[in-house]
Chains A and B, each alone.
Chain A
């Protein structure tokens, strides 16, 4: 069956550390993968997009990798801050379908 799994429901780290979130998928062949941030009481907001032929994408303190062999994407936040605390969702796109979202990982950054 098709599955998208994000490593854990919750991740707690200390300010200044690097947060690494994982998105694994099964029985999909995505051409693109997107990451969204969701704050409590709000809708998800787009952060980054990576194509299947790209290994890595960066935006300020954010870095995304995409390994189609491992069927995995990693989302890194370097020098994390309490303001980075939120739920992060990965979403796959494959031809002929709308985006398919994972359940998300809730990140808590403590000062």
Chain B
């Protein structure tokens, strides 16, 4: 398996624009996670899905953020409208379950810069 795939790897946009980040999890993994990482706040969980259903979105900062998982092999994280404070690295991860013995496999991340 190629691992978790994210696109784009880098995104530079202007304030107010819509941004869509994409993720393909590892085949067979039932859980998909979206994280945001900054120096100040570290790795923050935004939302996670189980079998394409959102389970916990309490980490989503505000209504400008939305995430979907239309099928088992694809998820998107959308920011509309984007703001400079959204600049961060966004990671997608997948796992077999959320039991403590199952590890998460991370993608390479998308570095978002909002000017």
Q: Which of these, B33, B35, B41, B101, contacts A49 with CB under 8 Å?
A: B101
Contact B101 A32 (CB under 8 A): yes
- Interface size class of chain B, counting residues whose CB lies under 8 Å from the partner chain: 20 to 34
**Roughly how many angstroms separate A57 CA and B109 CA in the complex, as a whole number?**
30
By the criterion CB–CB under 8 Å, are A104 and B93 in contact?
no
Q: Chain B contacts of A70 at CB under 8 A?
A: none
Nearest CB of chain A from residue B15's CB, rounded to whole Å: 25
Q: 0/1 per residue, A93-104, Cβ < 8 Å to B?
A: 110011111111
Where chain A touches its partner, the secondary structure class is: loop
How many interface residues does chain A have, given as a range? Answer: 20 to 34
> Is the pair B98, A98 in contact by a Cβ cutoff of 8 Å?
yes
The answer to whether B101 and A89 have CB atoms under 8 Å apart is: no
Q: How far is the CA of A101 from the CA of B48 in the complex (A)?
A: 14
The verdict on B42 contacting chain A, using a C-beta distance below 8 Å, is yes
A44 contacts chain B at the CB level, 8 A cutoff: yes
**B: which residues have CB within 8 A of A?**
4, 31, 33, 35, 41-43, 45, 48, 56, 91, 93, 98-101, 103-109
17 A-B contacts (beta carbon < 8 Å): A32-B100, A32-B101, A34-B103, A41-B108, A43-B4, A44-B91, A44-B104, A45-B106, A49-B100, A51-B100, A93-B99, A98-B31, A98-B33, A98-B45, A99-B104, A104-B42, A104-B43
A44-B106, A46-B104, A103-B41 known, 6 other contacts, Cβ within 8 Å: A32-B100, A44-B43, A49-B103, A89-B43, A98-B33, A100-B45
Interface residue ranges, A against B (CB under 8 Å): 30-32, 34, 41-46, 49, 51, 89, 93-94, 97-104
